[in-house]
Amino acid sequence: MKNRIEYLKHYLKKYNIKPSTIRIKTLDYLLSNDIHPNVEEIYKKLIEDIPTLSKTSIYNTLELFVEKGLVQIVRIDDKDSKYDLNTDPHGHFICNICDKIYDFDIKDTKNIEKELEGCNIGSKNIYYYGICKKCNENL
Amino acid sequence: MKNRIEYLKHYLKKYNIKPSTIRIKTLDYLLSNDIHPNVEEIYKKLIEDIPTLSKTSIYNTLELFVEKGLVQIVRIDDKDSKYDLNTDPHGHFICNICDKIYDFDIKDTKNIEKELEGCNIGSKNIYYYGICKKCNENL
DNA sequence: CTAAATGCAAACGGTTTGCAATGCT
DNA sequence: AGCATTGCAAACCGTTTGCATTTAG
């Protein structure tokens, strides 16, 4: 456990983020759940440990994480924002039936980017919508 | 002018939408401005013609348009939704400096979609963020 | 006349803000 | 003590809702 916390602190440090209880636990949550949580979900989980927790702190923490490049915002629907650990660039497939969000690799985007010559590409978001394998099989 | 209106009515009919004043004028706006307007912008323009116009009607109209597949929602930032005439699939490049939104063709997405075998792809949204040509030149 | 379309005002809900309280070094 | 972090309550604002009014065939 001690090691885990040291690991999380080090992880934050890499992104130039000073560790704090909430930041460590938020990162822990993001690393332990390969999902794309929203503020509500993180809040519900963390308040089990930190009874005085406020949603504002989750917002603050995630805002900082985004700023420092540790996570990215995933805007899939208009309801709320989801947060995703920033790993290699990848796409998101959202199933219209079960609402699950799947990550998928983006091997080669050269074809797409042909049109963008002269532009300076900073980041990209690729969202696909449809019916996932599992739901397809149950139809 | 008569011809224009007939054209717009016909356009709506193709999407199985019964024509009405607001629907015709909203479509007219979308066709005449190659931008990605939000509700506010459409409202501001149309109220010049229709003094009793309410924003609710714009929301209703656009909701119907989305439902019928005439427009698609573009979610670029968390502030509001933008609306885009549904033409061929295309990507959006958003300039971080001038905030302009550029459409660009998506020639070939086979490379990307390799990972999605077994899934049923319904639609795709491809957003690129960076610095556009024009702003690049002025740096 | 009837159903659809429009308008108004209030509610909704995720997010932001300002500031007070708390914690850490 | 002094500065960063956290928490609370209210504000914010784009959007939705319920219902009354108007329009069109």
Cα of B1 to nearest chain A Cα, Å: 36
Cα of A135 to nearest chain B Cα, Å: 9
Given a contact cutoff of 8 angstroms between Cβ atoms, the answer to whether A84 and A72 are in contact is yes
Q: No. of H helices and E strands in chain B?
A: 6, 5
Contacts 24+ apart (CB under 8 A), B7-15: B12/B70, B15/B65, B15/B68, B15/B69, B15/B70
Q: Determine whether the interchain pair A104/B116 forms a contact, defined as Cβ–Cβ distance below 8 Å.
A: yes
Q: Is the CB of B114 under 7 A from strand D?
A: no
Q: Determine whether the interchain pair B121/A128 forms a contact, defined as Cβ–Cβ distance below 8 Å.
A: yes
Q: Determine whether the interchain pair B81/A78 forms a contact, defined as Cβ–Cβ distance below 8 Å.
A: yes
Using CA atoms, how far apart are residues B59 and A68, in angstroms rounded to an integer?
A: 36
Using CA atoms, how far apart are residues B39 and B43, in angstroms rounded to an integer?
A: 6
> At CB < 8 Å, which residues of chain B contact A?
73, 75, 78, 81, 91, 93, 96, 104-116, 118-133, 136
Using CA atoms, how far apart are residues A19 and B18, in angstroms rounded to an integer?
A: 58
- Nearest residue of B to residue A96, measured between CA atoms: B122
Q: Is the CB of A105 under 7 A from strand D?
A: no
End-to-end CA distance of chain A: 44
Percent of chain A with pLDDT over 70: 98
Using CA atoms, how far apart are residues A61 and A44, in angstroms rounded to an integer?
A: 15
pLDDT in tens, B97-134: 888 889 998 878 888 898 899 999 988 899 999 999 99
**Residues of B with CB below 8 A from A129's CB?**
121-125
All structural domains of chain B, each given as residue ranges with its CATH number in brackets, are 2-80 (1.10.10.10), 90-137 (3.30.1490.190)
User: What residue has token string 């599992």?
Assistant: A134
Given a contact cutoff of 8 angstroms between Cβ atoms, the answer to whether B117 and A104 are in contact is no
pLDDT in tens, A13-69: 999 999 999 999 999 999 998 689 999 999 999 999 999 999 999 999 999 999 999
Which residues does B58 contact at the CB level (< 8 Å), separation at least 6?
B22, B26, B39, B42, B43, B46
Nearest to B119 among A75, A108, A133 (CB): A133
Cα of A17 to nearest chain B Cα, Å: 24
Q: Is the CB of A25 under 7 A from strand D?
A: no
Q: Is the CB of A31 under 7 A from strand D?
A: no
Given a contact cutoff of 8 angstroms between Cβ atoms, the answer to whether B58 and B94 are in contact is no
Given a contact cutoff of 8 angstroms between Cβ atoms, the answer to whether B75 and A80 are in contact is no
Q: State which residues between 71 and 100 of chain B bring their CB within 7 Å of strand C.
A: 78
| Distance from CA(B42) to C1'(C9), angstroms, rounded | 21
pLDDT in tens, B34-84: 689 999 999 999 999 999 999 999 999 999 999 999 999 998 887 899 999
pLDDT in tens, B80-103: 999 999 778 899 999 988 888 899
Cα of A49 to nearest chain B Cα, Å: 30
DSSP per-residue string spanning B26-55: HHHHHHH--S--BHHHHHHHHTTT-TT--H
Output the CA–CA distances (angstroms, integers) from residue A129 to A95, A103, B108, in the order listed.
6, 12, 17
Which residues does B79 contact at the CB level (< 8 Å), separation at least 6?
none
Calculate the CA B90 to chain-centre distance: 11
> What's the whole-model pTM score?
0.88
Q: Determine whether the interchain pair B75/A73 forms a contact, defined as Cβ–Cβ distance below 8 Å.
A: no
